[in-house]
A and B are shown apart, each in its own frame.
Chain A
């Protein structure tokens, strides 16, 4: 049994919120550099150069790489032998987000209620928290800020089993094509297949945090990831939608068993600022 205090959880969450917005993960930066080598369009090359330069400046100045510092999505993997003391785990996360966004000069982009007033909560809380109980005595906290430009372009559809592989591919490609230049390409495409209506988008979102270039362990899905990436990069959308070869840096698919009569498919798109950072306590 391991004991972790809520104060520690708040402190590390605060730090993660700041660091994740200043420091683009190395795999994403390398994928952008590789993209620059492949890009044929001069606009595309210019965009990629500017994006890479901005990423350096963000680190150097400890300033948010993008002004849309997102709504904070927080993944928690709580070991079943962990004992959290001193207060509420959920509150500790919200407090960490509150402090991180305030102290890190990050934009507060959360409205308290979506339909009527849409008044800003002023501190970027609440976070969206996904908690999983796992074996062991560790607590893993991953912060994934998600901006609206790319999140607004996602979609979920309950296909019929008869729609099959072709139907799923069509839905995924149509979603990306329709998004065009809006989600700040080059994008990362997260796909969730199977489960239920809420499970598929959860898989799609989590798929975005996989290391770029990693493949699904099931060879059939790994091949599908490759095929879809090639198809997307034939669309000509290019960096920022101004035309080019590098529309997506990766397609990551995750799947889950589903019902005999279901075929849920979800697509979650990430902009090139694919921010995620984690810590294990």
Chain B
């Protein structure tokens, strides 16, 4: 595994350039949650030339639909969901809304990677199915848009040392391809 790097949002050009596929990251700061339905609404808003409910410039979207919080917790279990379901929306958010980071799980499409390289964005992966551990890194959570979507609403999370891995860096180096190629025997 690569070196452990601490990253704080909003994401600067320098911070993104310093991240290489394979680095371990402890992520802190404000991040925004969104999954399929919120992405559909965000891209429709952009296409209509209207203002987004959240300024995504230099921000990071976490693909997650959290479980309900128990009393006293800011959030319930909140591990990453499958990122590829957002592949058809992500390039537009990167190109037109200034999105610089994504956090989810699993591989991305060539279209997403192309948009990331053009605009120097980064894709981080958290470990799917570790929702309890990740929920402990979330210090505060509030719904800021599309409340009617329930778990799929856009939330503003304040996170501290959320553990993740640089899966695809802004040069397009792709840990999913490199890692599998290294261990393939068939």
Contacts and interface: CB of A to CB of B under 8 A. Distances in A.
Interface in A222-281: 231, 234-238, 240-245, 271-273
A178 to B, nearest CB: 11
Interface in A176-190: 180-182, 184
A237 B180 CA distance: 5
B184 interface: yes
Given A235-B186, A238-B180, A242-B175, A181 B107 contact: yes
Interface in B102-155: 105-107, 125, 127-133, 135-136, 149-151
Contact of B185 (A152, A236, A272): A236
A50 B184 contact: no
A47 interface: yes
A142 interface: no
A162 B36 CA distance: 41
Contact of A50 (B37, B133, B151): B133
Interface stretch (A6-14, A58-66, A126-134, A191-199): A58-66
Contacts of B135: 63
Contact of B131 (A41, A47, A64, A245): A64
Interface string A21-56: 000000000000000000011110011001101100
B1 interface: yes
Given A42-B1, A108-B151, A238-B183, A51 B127 contact: yes
Contact of A107 (B65, B82, B127, B186): B65
Given A68-B65, A107-B76, A149-B81, A241 B131 contact: no
Nearest to B75: A67
Given A43-B165, A107-B68, A149-B81, A234 B184 contact: yes
Nearest to B24: A46
A57 interface: yes
Contacts of A120: 149-151
Contact of B82 (A41, A63, A182): A182
A39 B181 CA distance: 16
B151 A242 contact: no
A198 to B, nearest CB: 26
B182 interface: yes
Interface in A100-158: 105-109, 118, 120, 122, 148-149, 152
A107 B67 contact: yes
Contact of B180 (A63, A106, A236): A236
A42 B165 CA distance: 12
A42 B69 CA distance: 33
Contacts of A231: 186
Interface string B160-185: 00010101000000011011111111
A259 B154 CA distance: 51
A118 B36 CA distance: 12
Contacts of B182: 41, 236, 243
Contacts of A99: none
Q: Which of B22, B24, B183 has the most CB of A within 10 A?
A: B183
Contact of B128 (A69, A236, A240): A240
Nearest to A231: B186
A23 to B, nearest CB: 12
B86 interface: no
Given A180-B176, A241-B106, A67 B167 contact: no
Interface string B72-93: 0000111101101000000000
B70 interface: yes
A232 to B, nearest CB: 9
8 contacts: A54-B129, A54-B132, A65-B77, A180-B180, A235-B184, A240-B127, A241-B180, A273-B129
Query: 4 shortest A-B CB distances, which residue pairs?
Result: A243-B179, A236-B184, A236-B183, A184-B128
Given A241-B180, A245-B183, 11 more contacts: A41-B179, A50-B130, A57-B132, A63-B67, A67-B79, A107-B67, A149-B82, A184-B129, A240-B125, A241-B176, A243-B182
